[in-house]
Amino acid sequence: MSEVLVVKLGGTTIAEQRHVLGDVARVSCIRPVVLVHGGGKRITEWLERLGVPTRFEGGLRVTDAASIEVAAAVLRGVVNSELVAGLRDLGVDAVGLSGVDGGMLVAERIDGMGLVARVVGLRRDLLDSLLVAGRVPVVAPLACDEDGVICNVNADDATAGIAAGLGARQTVFMTDVDGIRGADGARIADVSAAEAESLIAEGVIAGGMIPKVRAALAALTTDGSEAVIAAGSSDAALTRAIGDPAFGTHVRRTPAAA
Ligand SMILES: Nc1ncnc2c1ncn2[C@@H]1O[C@H](COP(=O)(O)OP(=O)(O)OP(=O)(O)O)[C@@H](O)[C@H]1O
Ligand SMILES: [Mg+2]
């Protein structure tokens, strides 16, 4: 299990991410960090601006040839570059890349979703070389499928693939809610695989939270590893997510001991 921390940033605006970037900068002085970002909201904005129709299925965007161009441009060009620039401004040696670079994310097409792929493996050499050099890789969720076609991958899925491939001890999913909410609307502090699946079956966990909680579970490769889903907007959110068991939702393979 490695000290590397994998952090996923939800697709909010750069202004909202300012806090988290400062926190990433602090943590990256202490341990290696890989940052993965989403960008669904920004892609939707651009698709609307350009008049390209879009639809979701089970929290995943169905992507056609016109929308993959926009998605790739926005993720790699706009969102990734903004994050790299923001981190570099804070003194972090951030390097932008996507899962396409170095063939990093090994992916296969999901039937019926268009140009959307799931991550099935990680070629870790490129990440390792950046981490060894003290750099912070910032990864956009794109990957080539088995035919070499550029596809969109869900950013949570990309995060899980990277965390599992690196054997990361901790994975944090920063989002726009304070964690997984139960049927009563209150945040759940700990959730197991079985509890998560029943919350999905009951419709309590819906939309983008479905791939997120499944990714959080997939990131758990060893017994000691943990995944946290938390709000990225509060002060020191990342520091709290990795150090405070009462912050966010801690996703575990088995129920927490009573
Ligand atoms: N039980 C639940 N608890 C908390 N949030 C939930 C729940 N069910 C559905 N959600 C929704 O999931 C959303 C988070 O997923 P979403 O995909 O929108 O954000 P993200 O993954 O952080 O961003 P991006 O997809 O752009 O990377 C919340 O804003 C909320 O609307
Ligand atoms: Mg999402």
Rounded Cα–Cα distance for residues 193 and 217 (Å): 7
For residue 257, the model assigns a pLDDT of 63
CB distance 153 to 71 below 8 Å: no
Using most ligand atoms within 8 A of CB, pick from 157, 175, 188, 199 the residue to mutate for ligand 1.
Answer: 175
Average pLDDT value for the chain: 92
Task: Assign a CATH topology to domain 2-252.
Answer: Carbamate kinase (3.40.1160)
**Higher local confidence (pLDDT), 170 or 56:** 170
Contacts of 258 (CB under 8 A, 6+ apart): none
Largest CA distance in the chain: 52
CB distance 221 to 167 below 8 Å: yes
Q: Given 10, 38, 39, 40, which residue is catalytic?
A: 40
CB of 141 closer than 6 angstroms to any ligand 1 atom: no
Closest CA to 64 of 73, 75, 55, 74: 55
pLDDT in tens, 133-172: 999 999 999 999 999 999 999 999 999 999 999 999 999 9
CA triplet 179, 182, 183: central angle to 5 degrees? 150
Q: How far is the CA of 204 from the centre of ligand 1 (A)?
A: 12
Residue 33 has pLDDT above 90, yes or no: yes
Model pTM?
0.94
pLDDT in tens, 199-217: 999 999 998 899 999 999 9
Residue recorded with tokens 């988290």: 20
Using most ligand atoms within 8 A of CB, pick from 45, 156, 176, 229 the residue to mutate for ligand 1.
Answer: 176
Handedness of CA 232, 94, 162, 57 (dihedral sign): positive
156 is catalytic: yes
11 is catalytic: yes
Q: Give the residue whose CA is nearest to atom 11 of ligand 1.
A: 209
Per-domain residue ranges of the chain: 2-252
Rounded Cα–Cα distance for residues 142 and 155 (Å): 8
Rounded Cα–Cα distance for residues 176 and 9 (Å): 9
Q: How far is the CA of 210 from the centre of ligand 2 (A)?
A: 9
Which DSSP state fits 257? P
For residue 1, the model assigns a pLDDT of 53
167 is catalytic: no
CB of 155 closer than 6 angstroms to any ligand 1 atom: yes
CB distance 69 to 63 below 8 Å: no
CB of 20 closer than 6 angstroms to any ligand 1 atom: no
Residue recorded with tokens 């003290």: 134
Mean pLDDT, rounded, for 15-41: 89
For residue 208, the model assigns a pLDDT of 87
